[in-house]
Amino acid sequence: MTDQTASLSAPVATGEAIANTRKVFIKTYGCQMNVYDSTRMGDALSSEGYVTTGTLEEADLVLLNTCHIREKAAEKVYSALGRLREMKKARNAQGQELMIGVAGCVAQAEGEEILRRAPAVDVVIGPQTYHRLPQALRRARAGERVIETEYAVEDKFEHLPPTEKKVIRSRGVTAFLTVQEGCDKFCTFCVVPYTRGSEVSRPLQQIIDEATRLAESGVREVTLLGQNVNAWHGNGPNGESWGLGDLLYRLAEVPGLARLRYTTSHPRDMDDRLIEAHRDLRQLMPYLHLPVQAGSDRILKAMNRRHTADEYIRLIERIRGVRPDIALSGDFIVGFPGETDEDFEATMRLIERVNYAQAFSFKYSVRPGTPGAELGFHVAEEVKAERLERLQALLLKQQHEFAEACVGKTIDILLEKPGRMPGQLIGRSPWLQSVNVDAKSSQIGDIISVRIIGTGPNSLFAEQTGS
């Protein structure tokens, strides 16, 4: 799953608070799956009388939903816990309660260490057990410091309450929907198999029911999530084996769902049926995040990616053959142990050949417990930094060129939120770009036709067309 660094936003309070209502502030770090998990933790806590709040100071419970994909992400959590400890001391001195919980992948990987380093923490709960959060909080109130990080035997999704329709509506016209969790690929740089467990797919009907509920509540666009989302598999209506492509064809039949996306994919799970879905489904947006990580076959083998650079490029050519307007996004790691100048140049050549509309790139960081941590021939930090600067400059150039190529095009955008100027609304292009448009006669949730008239650093500007 792509690490997108810490998101400091929290779900907004829903419903009218009453005097004895408890409030929870959820701070989400990392990937889109953590964003989804945070919303579902809020749903689970609703049975305990909690409503979510965007104001830390008014919270009775603070949850940090954490990411462990990089060392800095984990250290940010401990830094935040230090600040929360002081807040808890001040609250307790006034005879008031403040409970602190750590959820997500850092919780899974470092449960006992969290309790040792952060005595103010009441609950540590992993990504596969957050449906047990209400019970864990009750135990914590009784004086126990709770760790829930054993992989649950039960299906957590079956134990989570359905999200209220008014809550869904308050969250906007786009939504994430987790369909697959865990990873069996065991890339040597990655902690996901150890923090999220093995690959598990949600049942077809469970997914359809949730998607239908989202659509009935006003959601127009759904992004399917998974650590390896295109590894999703299930049984179709007649017991036949289905993959993600089949699932997308079925979701395209859900009334009200105008747009579909999915992330994050692995090249080895990109099968013919999924490629056909990109050809056939107007609801499936022409944007694909397909990480490659490196362009050197030697490094790809050391990473245990189980594909070559040429196989990746030929796959991209097949996808573009059925959907020429598709925009590609990727992930890159520079400075993997043993990476030579020649290996790095191979990555640069792959980027030049593929031409990405967007990408995420990082210096390699050692994650304890992964095979990569045992490798020798580590690349010097200054070399990593120089390579990353060059690689990001190329990716940024490609991103800007893609945006400039949009100018003059007439496209449909889904209006998602108000802009900063009166009458301005912000929507998303089919290629996931933010688009600013004066649309006084339209409203959030509408899909309107616009002509792109300019670009900004991270967005496009458009005017609404008459059609």
105-128 pLDDT tens trace: 889 988 899 999 999 999 999 988
22-72 pLDDT tens trace: 999 999 988 888 899 999 999 999 888 899 999 999 999 999 999 887 667
* pLDDT at 296 exceeding the cut of 90: yes
* pLDDT at 349 exceeding the cut of 50: yes
* pLDDT at 76 exceeding the cut of 70: yes
CA 104 to CA 3: how far, in whole Å?
13
pLDDT, position 467? 53
pLDDT, position 4? 42
CA 191 to CA 107: how far, in whole Å?
13
Distances in whole angstroms, Cα of residue 366 to Cα of each of 69, 109, 369, 387:
10, 15, 9, 17
155-201 pLDDT tens trace: 788 878 888 888 899 899 999 999 999 999 999 999 888 888 889 99
Distances in whole angstroms, Cα of residue 268 to Cα of each of 158, 305, 306, 360, 365:
30, 9, 8, 20, 24
Report the share of the chain in percent with pLDDT over 70.
94
pLDDT, position 216? 97
DSSP 3-state of 306: coil
pLDDT, position 133? 93
* pLDDT at 260 exceeding the cut of 50: yes
CA 395 to CA 401: how far, in whole Å?
10
Q: Could you tell me which CATH class the domain 165-405 is placed in?
A: alpha beta
CA 31 to CA 3: how far, in whole Å?
5
Report the share of the chain in percent with pLDDT over 90.
76
Measured at the alpha carbon of residue 358, what is the angle toward residues 326 and 271, in degrees to the nearest 5? 45
Residue positions forming the annotated binding site for [4Fe-4S] cluster: 31, 67, 105, 183, 187, 190
pLDDT, position 441? 85
389-426 pLDDT tens trace: 999 999 999 999 999 999 999 999 999 999 988 889 99
CATH 2.40.50.140 fits domain 410-464: yes
β strands within 116-258, DSSP E: 123-125, 146-148, 174-178, 180-181, 200-201, 221-225, 233-235, 241-243
pLDDT, position 19? 40
Q: Do domains 22-148 and 410-464 have the same CATH topology?
A: no
CA 395 to CA 98: how far, in whole Å?
44
At the second CATH level, the architecture of 22-148 is 3-Layer(aba) Sandwich (3.40)
pLDDT, position 17? 37
Q: In terms of pLDDT, which residue wins out, 216 or 466? A: 216
130-142 pLDDT tens trace: 899 999 999 999 9
* pLDDT at 339 exceeding the cut of 90: yes
pLDDT, position 48? 85
Tokens of 378: 């580590």
Residue positions forming the annotated binding site: 31, 67, 105, 183, 187, 190
pLDDT, position 423? 86
Domain boundaries, the chain: 22-148, 165-405, 410-464
